[in-house]
Amino acid sequence: MSDLLAKLNPPQLQAVTLPAVHALILAGAGSGKTRVLTTRIAWLIATGQAGPHAILAVTFTNKAAKEMTARLAGLVPINLRGMWIGTFHGLCNRLLRAHHRDAGLPQTFQILDSADQLAAVKRLLKNLNVDDEKYPPRELCHFINAHKEQGVRAAQAEAFDAWTQRRVELYAEYEAQCNREGVVDFAELLLRCFELLSRNEPLRRHYQERFRHILVDEFQDTNRLQYAWLQLLAGGGARVFAVGDDDQSIYAFRGAEVGNMRDFERDYAGPHVIRLEQNYRSHGNILDAANALIKHNRERLGKNLWTDAGAGEPIRAFEAYSDLDEARFVVDEVRELIRDGYRRDQVALLYRSNAQSRVLEHELFSRGVPYRVYGGLRFFERQEVKHALAYLRLITNPDDDTAFLRVVNFPTRGIGARSLETLQAAAHQINSSLYNAAASLSGKAGQAVGAFVRLVETLRQETEGLPLPEMVEHIVEKSGLAQHYRSEKEGQERLENLDELINAAATFVDDEGAIGEAGALVSFLTHASLEAGEHQAGEGQEAVQLMSVHAAKGLEFDVVFITGLEQGLFPHENAIADGRDGLEEERRLMYVAVTRARQRLYLSCAQTRMLHGQTRYCVPSSFLEEIPAQLLLKLNRTPAASLPAGGGYGAAPAALPGGLRIGQNVEHPKFGLGVIVATEGRGGDARVQVNFGGAGMKWLALEYAKLTPV
């Protein structure tokens, strides 16, 4: 027994050895929550308080469930095969399989993943002759799942207008279709299980008496139905041991309710709330920054991370002239870190929006640094980007059958597989491209394919002579891609990637100089193909990690760069528009990002960033102001004329006369509004470099510059 508890710190030991009571364990980032959970289970078994069959352990991922089982196997010498350890969906599936008749399901019921569910909804709409432009299938899936996650069937769903009423009716039709076919989607697994236990008292009592200890990981990520399911199982006197961190609740968009933790404290935990605050991951300065940030959120349950590992290095902060300059800075630092002995796979570049990866990927690619996009696709491999590129390829070369097949029915135009088979047979017979064979089709299919061909011809004519960025923007809008993704509930990220494609075109023109517009498009498409296909690191190769902050949760790295720290980007403008709740969720997301770093943390922003192919002037994130200045080492580029070969960054200079400083907005009588981006010299020899937007970059002698702060 002493070996089992030997490595626990006092709060961990207190949590593990609690008597049979409800408890809430507030486990800060890097505080050893998995150790506490598994040791608690092992302790209950080793002390004879519960057999393996009397324990229910709930996780949020299969990976976490497997890790918990593997750790337990090393702690207690018993067979764990029959234990109920798994995700909410996995455990509900297990229960429904055992009681399929009571649940109204066939014994061999099948589970629809998200792609299968989308296909089922599309088939439903087609069978009912419903306009899928007015009721987009993906958005209808979100509507159905959101109701199920709140425990609301179609019969109970409320509708306040005709459009919503029709969606409720389609929800009911979808339920009927699934019941006929003997299939369930992921949301249905939990709802069907909850309903079964709610109405079947003998079955409910059986499981309530069986499971005497219920342990829940990542409790802050539970939704309302999951909490209700746990309450139902705990109704017979079982003790719930909930482990979570309200400061890391970042999945509201998936239905997670951070308020469940406060409700649990009120409903169950009472005085049994234990805080795990000792962090075993990060140095002190990083934790101090995280604590300073998160204290601005209200209604926290409250904790303060600390470490005995020492303060460590200061947090490095850099304000770049532009998003391109930010990427160059990041890659300069990454290469220096690698030369200093850091492993590439222990360096992570984080961003709020996946669209930000494009500039970073380009710079890494150009500088020969192997990288891997974690949990996602490289920029030029993303669905929406490849769709837009396919339209661009067609207006350049209509005989490109691969591009034709990719977008002939995207967005949907009623061109089915049979029509395309007929078209391909006709093209083969006359030895031509699909585009040229389109005229040979007749009937409804011929009309639909003919309309697509005319669209491509119109796009070619309308974009002729346009600058490359405007050409790309025109294609994105007039092809229907932008409208298609605007109609999707979660299409915002895809729209941001399409905006970034326009930025990529503008940057390409700037980098390549004057090219005839036809040549510019061909060259740009070649550039996109090369960047899409070659430089992401191969399997097993050590590589720098790129990922969104959401994807980084649960991971840790020696070095972390948090990029794009600008108001409207991080915190995101949509969250700001949502008011306090939205901003607090963004702050929790920033807290998660900061606490991924073990040894060194970089924070960067840009004074200008490309948006829709145009330069946007940016304001640094409010989160930067919430980090105490004494924790930061502010870096800036040395003026270009004196840049050393190694990169040229150093501590920020003192403020200039007149209160001017780098990042200051100023006005000049001739050049107009601008931003100070660099300085050199002192006294009467001082000069400033100002970005005047349309008037370009200017070096001005400070004594004669006549700059007015604005």
Contact 321, 608 (CB under 8 A): yes
Among residues 84, 56, 95, the alpha carbon closest in space to that of 195 is found at 95
- Catalytic hit among 33, 372, 382, 406: 33
- Catalytic hit among 132, 217, 221, 323: 217
Among residues 286, 249, 290, the alpha carbon closest in space to that of 584 is found at 249
| Measured distance CA(8)–CA(35) in Å, rounded | 9
| Measured distance CA(239)–CA(241) in Å, rounded | 7
Q: How many residues does the chain have?
A: 710
What single-letter DSSP state applies at residue 119? H
Active site residue 239: no
Active site residue 486: no
| Measured distance CA(216)–CA(57) in Å, rounded | 6
Q: Token pair of 571, please?
A: 């915190």
Query: Judging by beta carbons within 10 Å of its beta carbon (0-12, 13-18, 19+), is residue 359 exposed, middle or buried?
Result: buried
| Measured distance CA(646)–CA(638) in Å, rounded | 11
Among residues 702, 620, 705, the alpha carbon closest in space to that of 656 is found at 702
Angle at 466 between CA 465 and CA 468, to 5 degrees: 120
Among residues 313, 301, 310, the alpha carbon closest in space to that of 266 is found at 301
| Measured distance CA(144)–CA(255) in Å, rounded | 13
Active site residue 34: yes
Active site residue 181: no
- Catalytic hit among 328, 553, 596, 598: 596
Active site residue 201: no
**Residues 6 or more apart in contact with residue 388 via CB below 8 angstroms:** 472, 475, 476, 479, 481, 498, 501
- Catalytic hit among 14, 34, 49, 599: 34
Strand order in the sheet with 665-668: 697-701, 687-691, 672-680, 665-668, 708-709
CA 367 to chain centre: 26
| Measured distance CA(398)–CA(403) in Å, rounded | 9
**Residues 6 or more apart in contact with residue 335 via CB below 8 angstroms:** 367, 369
Which alpha helices (DSSP H) does 254-352 contain, by range? 259-264, 284-294, 323-339
- Catalytic hit among 132, 218, 326, 473: 218
- Catalytic hit among 38, 87, 208, 248: 248
Active site residue 507: no
| Measured distance CA(70)–CA(264) in Å, rounded | 29
- What's at 366, amino acid-wise? S
| Measured distance CA(286)–CA(292) in Å, rounded | 10
Among residues 577, 594, 692, 581, the alpha carbon closest in space to that of 257 is found at 581
Catalytic machinery residues: 33-34, 217-218, 248, 596
